[in-house]
Structure 1
């Protein structure tokens, strides 16, 4: 069998699996055959293959639904792109404390991805920021909070000699200036974005750490600049509490409300 034929067969199998998932337990071979333009015999063959592999299950009445193998793929995707339920609970607490737009981002394979957010009572428009966003790491408070606790050689490999785009007139575009900013974030345990990503909006962010002390994500709140000047201390305490709770969960496996930390962040590495 040629490579082209194998790939075409795989593509049809994936189309069937996707259609089964969309149908939510109502898909039959005849419906799938008509919907996808696949011969009925071929459709049955693909369904038998998916059934044998655990990607679909057969229900009464000749209907099909997704199986445990497909569900495991979804769980893997959630682990990569979305926060765990426990971290989402912490995000909700952060939002309830601040009533501001609150975010959680995760560090994965060398980039920080916005995973989830809860809008504040007074919605703040922050550029094109949305779930899945990974861009402009030098301009976002969440990214600076995580970058501050990475080995310096990793940060240099990402940014040294690379043009840093001026997202706003306030964006740091000089690598040396960025390293000074990261050093400050490392000392104080949180990072601030003062209109560097979106004009008129400031953000404060604190990182959380896994059991090895490596940063694995950050909690952030964003507010209009005028309100940030009034609430900076309160907002900083809130994101640091959220980060401390997340670190505790990742290390101990359970959630606990911790006293607000006034010293260094968990997992903090002294600058040498």
Structure 2
């Protein structure tokens, strides 16, 4: 049976509405309707119509200066995402420690419904903006160090199933754009014990990540540290030490919790 012709238009309108909502959330009260329309290349009339609908349904709020912020209903959605993707308190504590040691922006990612998802992040002492990377983000697996760190320890067939050819979007000129090159990259990642994003997700920003494992040696998450590329190049060796230490401690914790036997970070290397 052929779907009604209007369904495509309806879905496109929904997509545009979500894009507007995402743009408002990222701008944090700095964008007016005209700025949103310009950013998304939307007709101004269409943008006003979407904003009016979002405002009526309490997904956004219009401020006195004409800018928009996220409303109560959108905030509840964000709270739900945070609640369901939040890492264990012990892992969050390790993330805090990693942030204090490096003074850089740090992240922890893990599985959420079969997808590697950003679970928590802490800003560094230096201002660093990395695209729309926030809690719940799960896009562009082939460009993110945390994803590469985890995928390197999965069977190649599973990785290939997760990343069909159309997944390899050139987010930046440095992004890997085919599976064979990506598979070779994962071999290097597994050998080194850490993964690097060399401006593959955002120009000017580099990242390093290390995976942690459960009691069955399955990769269940990764810690990551990002920094401006100029500083990253100078500090990469030290950042690698700290991010691997956090990952080793996470693995030791998870194995101890699961088995009841005390496992130290040093034991992880003996068991690996």
TM over 0.5: yes
Equivalent position of 2:160 in the other structure: 156
Equivalent position of 2:133 in the other structure: 129
Q: Within 5 Å, which residues of 2 pair with 1:176-255?
A: 176-253=180-257
Q: CA deviation at 1:267?
A: 6.8
Structure 1 Cα separation of the partners of residues 113 and 80 of structure 2: 18
Structure 2 Cα separation of the partners of residues 228 and 199 of structure 1: 13
Scaled by the length of structure 2, the TM-score of the pair is 0.65
Aligned pairs, how many? 191
RMSD across aligned positions (CA):
2.5
**Once the two structures are superposed, what CA deviation does each residue of 1:26-59 show, in whole Å capped at 9, x if it has no partner?**
xxxxxxxxxxxxxxxxxxxxxxxxxxxxxxxxxx
**Once the two structures are superposed, what CA deviation does each residue of 1:35-91 show, in whole Å capped at 9, x if it has no partner?**
xxxxxxxxxxxxxxxxxxxxxxxxxxxxxxxxxxxxxxx99984x411111000000
Contact 1:209–1:267, Cα closer than 8 Å, also in 2: no
Contact 1:245–1:256, Cα closer than 8 Å, also in 2: no
Instruction: Report the structure number with the largest CA radius of gyration.
Output: 1
Equivalent position of 1:37 in the other structure: none
Q: Within 5 Å, which residues of 2 pair with 1:1-272?
A: 78=83, 80-253=84-257, 258=265, 268=272
Contact 2:104–2:124, Cα closer than 8 Å, also in 1: yes
Structure 2 Cα separation of the partners of residues 170 and 138 of structure 1: 11
Instruction: Please state whether the residue corresponding to 1:162 is helix, strand or coil.
Output: helix
Structure 1 residue ranges without an equivalent (≥5): 1-73
Structure 2 Cα separation of the partners of residues 77 and 196 of structure 1: 26
Structure 2 Cα separation of the partners of residues 265 and 175 of structure 1: 29
**Once the two structures are superposed, what CA deviation does each residue of 1:204-262 show, in whole Å capped at 9, x if it has no partner?**
00000001100001000000001011000000010000000000010002998846x9x
Distance verdict in 2 for CA 1:187–1:88, change over 3 Å: same
Q: CA deviation at 1:158?
A: 1.7
Q: CA deviation at 1:153?
A: 1.0
Distance verdict in 2 for CA 1:163–1:102, change over 3 Å: closer
Q: CA deviation at 1:110?
A: 2.2
Select the structure that is richer in helix.
Answer: 2
Structure 2 residue ranges without an equivalent (≥5): 1-78
Instruction: Please state whether the residue corresponding to 2:166 is helix, strand or coil.
Output: coil
Scaled by the length of structure 1, the TM-score of the pair is 0.65
Distance verdict in 2 for CA 1:163–1:127, change over 3 Å: same
Instruction: Please state whether the residue corresponding to 2:207 is helix, strand or coil.
Output: strand
Contact 1:193–1:204, Cα closer than 8 Å, also in 2: yes
